[in-house]
Amino acid sequence: MPELPEIETLRRMLDERLRAAPVAKAGPAHVATLKTFDPALATLEGRRFAGAKRRGKHLLFPTEDGELVLHVHLMSAGRLRFHEPGEKQPKSPAFKLMLEDGGALVLTEGGPKKRAKVGLYRPEAIEAELGHLGPEANELDAEQLGEILAGDSRRLHAMLRDQRVLTGIGRAWVNEILHRARLSPYALSTELDSEETARLGEAIREVLAEGLDLRERGVPDKKAYRIHNHLGEPCFVCGTPIARVDFEEHTIFYCPECQTGGRVLKDRRLSRLLR
Ligand SMILES: [Zn+2]
């Protein structure tokens, strides 16, 4: 489940490498993965990339001539790797792109469901496609965050994951951020005071920056996350066992001592029925 730290790590790894040589062959792409047909993938051939860019959790590879942009969104299970010439490559990639120097950008996706997306766009078309995205989560100042939170009354966990509100945070890092901010995942965005808003803004910036640093050093999920997926393990701040609650289609991890004043959160749908 790549989020801002993971996608930015990928971007940094690919930025230089993709400029090294023009595209020799773009494709093949799995029919469910490729989201566009015009312009055709083959129009990339012979062109050189101007590096790698990122918007939220989306990767963008513009061509040097400014005419095309290759878009990749990994969703939850997509994996993107660059293979140097001679390196073993997966047999049936969801998408593959070869450079003239023999290097290859390869997208794979585990499981039967193909959710990762690849598309080739004109610059104005990809801008429209991603136009719904909110500001980059790691670039918000306290004032901007305050305005965003005041704009809609929603539970923090859901709001911070909404890419239209702010972009880059998903279901793993949101647990780390809310723990750092010492805020309940169920807290309402409009009920935060200015001190809590400032704390949340700081937590977003710090946690995402630390996450990026960890990922650039190759730290795996189990160590990169300290709250997410650590059910029952002691909170690294207070020692209370990490708790879990289901909310909408997501699983939330949190520390009852640090975040909810000792209260255990109830499954929202269930508690609603029992009320
Ligand atoms: Zn704790």
* pLDDT tens-place string over residues 190-248: 999 999 999 999 999 999 999 999 999 999 999 999 999 999 999 999 999 999 999 87
Cα(181) to ligand 1 centroid in Å equals: 11
Cα(245) to ligand 1 centroid in Å equals: 16
In angstroms, rounded to a whole number, what is the distance separating the alpha carbons of residues 100 and 45? 9
Reported as a single tens digit per residue, the pLDDT across 94-118 is: 999 999 999 999 999 988 889 999 9
Cα(185) to ligand 1 centroid in Å equals: 14
Angle at which helix 194-216 crosses helix 4-19, to 10 degrees, equals: 40
Provide long-range contacts, Cβ within 8 A and 24+ apart, for 249-257.
Answer: 250/157, 250/158, 250/161, 250/171, 251/171, 252/157, 252/175, 252/185, 253/175, 253/227, 253/228, 253/229, 254/175, 254/178, 254/179, 254/184, 254/185, 254/227, 255/179, 255/227
Strand, helix or coil for residue 33: coil
Read off the pTM: 0.94
